[in-house]
Amino acid sequence: MVAEVTQSSRRTGIAAAILVAGVYAYFLLFSQFAFLEIVQHAGFGEMRIKAVLGMMAAGGIAGAYCAQRDQGIRLLRMGLVGCMIAAMLSMMVHDLWSLGFASLLMGLSLGSVTVCLAALLPQWLPRKEGCWYVGIGTGLGYALCNLPAVFLATPQQQCGIAAVFALVAFGASWLLRDVAPLKREVSKAPGNHRAVWVVLVFLAFVWMDSGAFYVIQHAPDLKKATWGAEKLWINAGLHFFAAVLAGWMLARGQFRLLLCAAAVILGAAALWVNDVSTRVVAGYFYPVAVSFYSTALVCWPGLLSGKTQAWQRAAWVFAIAGWIGSGLGIGMVENLHRVPVWFVIVACGVILLGLFGGVKKGAWVMILALVGFFLLENNSTPPSTTTAVERGRQVYVAEGCIHCHSQYIRPQSMDEALWGEAKKPSDALQQRPVLIGNRRQGPDLTHVAGRRSATWLRLHFLAPRDLVPDSVMPSYAHLFEDGRGADLIAYLTRDIADDITAVQQLSQAWQPASVAQGDVVLGKRLYSQHCAVCHGYDGRGQGMLAAQLTKAPANLAEGPWMWSAKRDGESEAVSIARVVRFGIPGTDMPGHETWTSEQWQAVTSYLLQWRGEK
């Protein structure tokens, strides 16, 4: 009889772990990666992008509210179905209203699923056993998303993978249909009281995590140091083992100790990722800290609660910490290129204040935390008196870039068709020294961050003719031996948000009636010279430099052709030609602005041949 109970309990635990893993993997892969990239590169303006993402947050909060009102596993399953539909829909649509609907549906679905899952766990598993299985499920979810084949997939492929994760979670929920609800335990685990404080603690964690994550993802040097292709397997293993360790600690009642460790590790990682000498260590610390607090986040509302407010606690913690905290973190650092020290200090102070209860005890803990972090910062490498952008401008002048490149779009000239809207002469004349440029042997560098990614620029500085075969530019590999190369890139990409918007507007304004049939032989030759280095000679995205790019190049031979899909009111040839001419702003795909109409028509016709063979 005991063996039967144990076997039944094990099956329940495994099903619960699979359910947690599927939900976490879907959330991380789809809402944090694939959907964001699809929206950002759909050609919308900045305000429309924010509106679409805002619908996700609003839907998440509404879904959390609905879950605490319904309080049933049926809503969990309905939410998982909604997650699948949102992911599949995002693979097929590119217009504003459809993506807005997908965003709202995803928010509603995820909001209800996360609350239902956390609140139902104590009905299926006892506290100690449940914490173990949540740790396994959380670690598995993170590990799956860090597998190279998943992490480096195209956004459209990631949508399909995320839908599979939701489907697996849906199947696991049916394995739990016959589980008799357990009698709720009276838990003495830390965190079983002061619910408001604990919600604030998780708010600070998510705020700090999402802020640091956003900065790292949008700073190529930081991203390569933490999520480079060669580190993904290590990250997957760290996430899994850290989450299992967290489950073990929670099962032993070490809620407060676990979150203290997570705060210290995450705070250190957020600070150290700014320094070249400590980024490798930060890359190991970050997944450990995130798995620590994420496991506790799932366990706290239900498994670590001895009261009957599991549904309400789950709704509050996921609505406030999950959705609002994530939005606040991203919004705060949207225009920064570093993780701000003051933010790490404040976030860790709030976490420790909440964990040690009340203002009196927490004040002393926060004071000690402030002193500790100030000492840590003061003992690290002294901050430079100039910013990377300022140093990069000095490098630009010192290396004589002005002799071949301009930073001035001449009004009422062909410049505007190539590089974007002209600026006032007075704006350029305010520079010291003025960097208008006196010759045009190379392209104008106004809005260059919208036309060339930081990764592309770095590869071009290292070996110019790998990317531009007929370039006369010399290699500047020596600049990357002492950090000057990174500073130069920081200068060139200083206005990245405005530059991307400017290039997107230029691209969208280009509306030819049709694209003439080009010379396919010429197109093949141009493709081999300029495109194969990334996309491969067979077009399958496995070129010589493919592994060094932020995202794997698109498979031009077999698809999916998400970025050059046919748009309403124009031919497929026009959509392809637009990408050939202007690239994809915000990605590693560059444009070929100086090509003649004969050249881009020839390449367009050559690429269309592959699609015709499908």
Look at 11-20, 165-174, 181-190, 301-310 and tell me which has the smallest mean pLDDT.
181-190
- Return the closest-CA partner of residue 497 out of 20, 46, 28: 46
Please name the amino acid found at residue 492.
L
Distance CA 373, CA 341 (A): 9
Q: What is the pLDDT of residue 427?
A: 60
Note the pLDDT tens digit of each residue in 99-138: 889 989 998 999 899 988 888 888 888 888 889 999 999 9
Q: Average the pLDDT over 561-575 and give the result.
A: 74
Q: Which residues contact 105 (CB under 8 A, 6 or more apart)?
A: 59, 82, 85, 86, 89
- The superfamily in CATH containing domain 2-379 is MFS general substrate transporter like domains (1.20.1250.20)
Q: Which residues contact 541 (CB under 8 A, 6 or more apart)?
A: 534, 535, 552, 553, 554, 555, 556
Q: Is the pLDDT of residue 397 over 90?
A: no
Distance CA 155, CA 26 (A): 13
Q: Average the pLDDT over 225-245 and give the result.
A: 83
* Higher-confidence position of 444 and 468: 468
Strands (E), 6-95: none
Q: What is the pLDDT of residue 4?
A: 42
* Higher-confidence position of 309 and 66: 66
Please name the amino acid found at residue 24.
Y
- Return the closest-CA partner of residue 107 out of 44, 33, 53: 53
Q: What is the pLDDT of residue 225?
A: 61
Token pair for 194: 């002061």
* Higher-confidence position of 581 and 342: 581
Residue with token string 């609002």: 324
Check: CB of residue 289 under 8 Å from CB of residue 266: yes
Burial of 7 (0-12, 13-18, 19+ CB in 10 A): exposed
User: Omega into 590 within 30° of 0, i.e. cis?
Assistant: no
Note the pLDDT tens digit of each residue in 62-107: 888 888 877 778 888 999 999 999 999 988 877 888 888 998 999 8
Q: Which residues contact 20 (CB under 8 A, 6 or more apart)?
A: 117, 133, 134, 137, 138, 140, 141, 298
Note the pLDDT tens digit of each residue in 141-196: 999 988 888 887 888 888 999 999 999 999 998 887 766 565 555 444 444 446 77
Please name the amino acid found at residue 119.
A
Q: Is the pLDDT of residue 341 over 90?
A: no
Note the pLDDT tens digit of each residue in 285-294: 888 999 999 9
Q: What is the DSSP track for 416-429?
A: HHHH-SPPPHHHHH
Q: Average the pLDDT over 525-537 and give the result.
A: 90
**In the chain, domain spans:** 2-379, 388-503, 510-612
Cα torsion at 458, 460, 462, 465 (round to 10°)? 170
pTM of the model: 0.64
Q: Which residues contact 58 (CB under 8 A, 6 or more apart)?
A: 104, 107
Q: Which residues contact 256 (CB under 8 A, 6 or more apart)?
A: 190, 191, 355, 356
Q: What is the pLDDT of residue 184?
A: 54
Rg of the chain (C-alpha set)? 26
Q: Average the pLDDT over 474-490 and give the result.
A: 86
Q: Which residues contact 318 (CB under 8 A, 6 or more apart)?
A: 60, 64, 111, 114, 115, 118
Question: Are both 388-503 and 510-612 of the same fold?
Answer: yes
Residue with token string 């496991």: 295
- CATH class, range 510-612: mainly alpha
- Name the fold adopted by 388-503: Cytochrome Bc1 Complex; Chain D, domain 2 (1.10.760)
Residue with token string 């141009």: 526
